[in-house]
Structure 1
Amino acid sequence: MTKKNSPASDRNPVFNIRIAIPNKGRISVPIRELIEKSGLGIIDNGDRTLIARTRDKHVEILYARPIDIPEYVASGVADLGITGHDMVIERGSDVKELLNLGFGSASVVLAVPDDSDINEPGDLDNRRVSTEFPGLTRRYFKKIGVRPVIVPVGGACEATPSLGISDAIVDISSSGTTLRQNHLRIIDTVLKTSTYLIANPRSCINKKEKIDEIHLAL
């Protein structure tokens, strides 16, 4: 006699692959659209859900802050992730960047007030630099042999020079409009970034067939 799957097993399939994607932010909507076009689709369980099903019963979605996604993937909490290259570099996580998805292109830049006497990165020795990317910023300045005071901030970085918090900022910029609105000028590009599909190295071996399938679909 053939044993049929019970309704309980249909409702609770074994998820072989978990994909972490941003819960909000500038690239969250394009990522959701890409997943839909890939054939996976997302079946939301409500506005406040952290985990959602997809049309593939072996794949689920984990919503997370973009900055946390590299570490979730590196630790194995998620097998795959979609986030910015800048987030991967900031966290320094042990992940594989499988695919540049070709959207969300931007630059992490070093900028100073229009009327500042600072004209090059070397002028920032012992000066204050505010940023939402302290890890990336420290590595950048160490590489060029400059020692500023790094001031980590949680948001509105572009406003910090006018508030007297810092002499310069390291921030992400796509069009430069926000910088111009805050009377800031770019003096160097720290990093070029875009949106990447990243993977846990162990999952790439243990779950290669399914990951290759998702990679190809995206």
Structure 2
Amino acid sequence: MASHNPDHCLFAVPKKGRLYEKVTDMLKGAGVEYHREPRLDIAICKDMNMTVVFLPAADISKYVGEGNVDIGVTGVDIVEESESDVVRVMDLGFGKCKLCVQAQTSSNVTDVRTLAGKRIVTSFPTLARKFFDPLDKEMGVTTSINFVSGSVEAACGLGLADAIVDLVETGTTMKAAGLEIVATLLETEAILITNPNSKHKDIVNLLQHRIQGYITSQKFVMVSYNCSADVLQDVTKITPGKRAPTITNLTDGGHAVSSLVMKKQIVKVMDELHLAGATDILVFDLANSRM
């Protein structure tokens, strides 16, 4: 690893996998600029006293908890599995999936308690043990929890397990392996975490504001339209905005209105505005924001 300024805040992000592209896009949108040289897992930010370190997502929670790095992005599942002492700064809204007990469809398991005392294969042995321990106590048995680092979904088909505990995102891989969900341990997504004793709380706060601004800009669009005075009250009810719409008086006695609208609702909102008498309806994407 290349050297870095010891006074810099260290920010750990996933070096590859399902979270890598999402995180790099988020940082770019949030204005966190850096240049990563090929084959290097470290990059110094251009306008912040911060160094980005690229690490396996499964290790980030541990590094943050132990104070080796100040801030990181990883999944709730990783934090819970590692039992690291970290502060959950904010949820990032991507990388959403569920950690589930899965069994073969052909086994017709309808009650997860019937799997107590059986063989479980997982990459999350701590969480699996926490889930099955109360069931073991209830049933008077001991569940065998075996760790594997990959290809967990193949364990049942190979006769190595009676069930698995693994992440489910779309369910495609699970169904292809002939598995179905029996129980859900937790719902997870990518989160921003920090060490509770970090000396760079100013950088943490700045980064949080930048990321929150970008996330907000991805959720909302700006709608702008004109309307007459007699329909102003009706149209502003359709577009109340995050706090309130911006209303400007026009020389013809009408009004120009601008308001934030949830991106996923904008088509419906435009239809409602048109029916309510609004004209010149325009929609603008947001690059970034501060609310």
Structure-1-length-normalised TM-score: 0.89
C-alpha distance in 1, partners of 2:130/2:90?
Answer: 24
Give the SS at the match of 1:201: coil
C-alpha distance in 1, partners of 2:128/2:166?
Answer: 9
1:35 alignment partner, one of 14, 18, 27: 27
Structure 2: segments with no counterpart, 5+ residues:
212-291
1:50 matched to which residue of 2? 41
C-alpha distance in 2, partners of 1:57/1:51?
Answer: 15
Return the offset for 1:144: 4.0
2:156 alignment partner, one of 155, 161, 176: 161
Give the SS at the match of 2:197: helix
C-alpha distance in 2, partners of 1:37/1:209?
Answer: 20
Task: Verify: 1:17 aligned to 2:6, yes or no.
Answer: no
Give identity over the alignment, percent.
31
C-alpha distance in 1, partners of 2:158/2:4?
Answer: 52
Q: Which amino acid aligns with 2:63?
A: Y
C-alpha distance in 2, partners of 1:143/1:216?
Answer: 41
- Judge conservation of contact 2:94–2:189 (CA < 8 Å) in 1: yes
Structural RMSD (CA):
1.6
Return the offset for 1:62: 1.0
1:217 matched to which residue of 2? 210
- Judge conservation of contact 1:51–1:61 (CA < 8 Å) in 2: yes
- Judge conservation of contact 2:136–2:143 (CA < 8 Å) in 1: no
Deviations 1:191-212 (A, max 9, x none): 1000000000001xx3222211
**4+ residue segments displaced more than 3 Å:** 11-15, 143-147
Q: CA 1:138–1:107 in 2, change beyond 3 Å: closer, same or farther?
A: same
The correspondence of residues 174-193 of structure 1 with structure 2, limited to 5 A, is 174-193=169-188
C-alpha distance in 2, partners of 1:194/1:17?
Answer: 24
Return the offset for 1:120: 1.8
C-alpha distance in 2, partners of 1:12/1:200?
Answer: 19
Give the SS at the match of 2:106: coil
C-alpha distance in 1, partners of 2:135/2:186?
Answer: 14
The correspondence of residues 8-157 of structure 1 with structure 2, limited to 5 A, is 13-46=5-38, 48-145=39-136, 147-157=142-152
Structure-2-length-normalised TM-score: 0.67
